[in-house]
Structure 1
Amino acid sequence: MAAKTDRDRKHASAGSREPSAALTRRLNWDDLEVLLALARAGTLTGAGQRLGVNTTTVGRRLDGLEAALGVHLFDRSPSGVAATELARGLVPIAEAMERSVADALRLVEGRETEAEGLVRVSAPPGIANWFIAPAIARLRARHPKLIVELDAAVGYADLTRREADIALRSVRPRAGDLIALRLIEAESTIAAAPELIRKIQKLEDTSAIDWINWGPDLASLPDARWIADNVDPTRVVLRTSSMDAQIQAARAGLGAIIVGRPFLDWIELDELPLGPKLTKRVSALPTGSLWLVGHKALRGVPRIRAVWDFLVEEAAGFKPPR
Structure 2
Amino acid sequence: MNWDDLKYFLAVARNGSVRSAAKVLGVNHTTVSRRIKQFEEDLGERLFDRSNGGYERTIIADEIYQEAIHLEERMFNVSRKVACKDQTLTGDIRITVPEGVGECLLMPSFSKFCDSHTKINIEIISSAVPLNLSNREADVAIRICKNPPEHLVGRKLANMHRACYVSAQLKEQIKDEDFVKSLNWLGFSQRARRPVGQVAKDYPKLKSKHYMLNMNMQVAACKLNMGVAILPCFIADNDSSLIRIPPFTDEHQYDLWLLYHPDLRKSKKIQTFVHFLYEQFEILKPLIEGECFTLSP
Q: Same fold (TM over 0.5)?
A: yes
Q: Which runs of 5+ in 1 are unaligned?
A: 1-26
Deviations 1:9-30 (A, max 9, x none): xxxxxxxxxxxxxxxxxx2321
Is residue 115–residue 145 contact of structure 1 (8 Å, CA) maintained in 2?
yes
Higher normalized strand content (fraction of residues): 2
Distance in 2 (alpha carbons) for counterparts of 1:34 and 1:309 = 36
Aligned to 1:10: none
Q: Against the structure 1 CA distance between its residues 172 and 143, is the aligned structure 2 distance closer, same or farther, given a 3 Å change threshold?
A: farther
**Aligned-pair CA distance for 1:136:** 2.2
Aligned to 1:225: 196
Aligned to 2:39: 65
Secondary structure of the 2:118 match is coil
Higher normalized helix content (fraction of residues): 1
Distance in 1 (alpha carbons) for counterparts of 2:121 and 2:24 = 20
Secondary structure of the 1:161 match is coil
Matched, 1:46 2:20: yes
Matched, 1:298 2:269: no
Matched, 1:274 2:255: no
Structure ID, larger Rg: 1
Matched, 1:244 2:216: yes
TM-score by length of 2: 0.85
Matched residue type, 1:317: I
Q: Against the structure 1 CA distance between its residues 229 and 184, is the aligned structure 2 distance closer, same or farther, given a 3 Å change threshold?
A: closer
Matched residue type, 1:38: V
Secondary structure of the 2:14 match is helix
Matched residue type, 2:41: A
For residues 28-39 of structure 1, the aligned pairs below 5 Å read 28-39=2-13
Aligned to 1:171: 145
**Aligned-pair CA distance for 1:160:** 1.2
Is residue 100–residue 235 contact of structure 2 (8 Å, CA) maintained in 1?
no
Is residue 188–residue 211 contact of structure 2 (8 Å, CA) maintained in 1?
yes
Q: Against the structure 1 CA distance between its residues 204 and 190, is the aligned structure 2 distance closer, same or farther, given a 3 Å change threshold?
A: farther
Q: CA RMSD in A?
A: 2.9
1:313 to 255, 275, 279: 279
Secondary structure of the 2:122 match is strand
Matched, 1:124 2:98: yes
Write out the 4+ residue segments of structure 1 that deviate beyond 4 Å after TM superposition. Answer: 202-207, 227-234
Deviations 1:57-104 (A, max 9, x none): 111111111111111111222332112222222222212111111111
Distance in 2 (alpha carbons) for counterparts of 1:79 and 1:233 = 46
Q: Which runs of 5+ in 2 are unaligned?
A: 293-297
Q: How many residues align?
A: 285
TM-score by length of 1: 0.79
Aligned to 1:152: 126
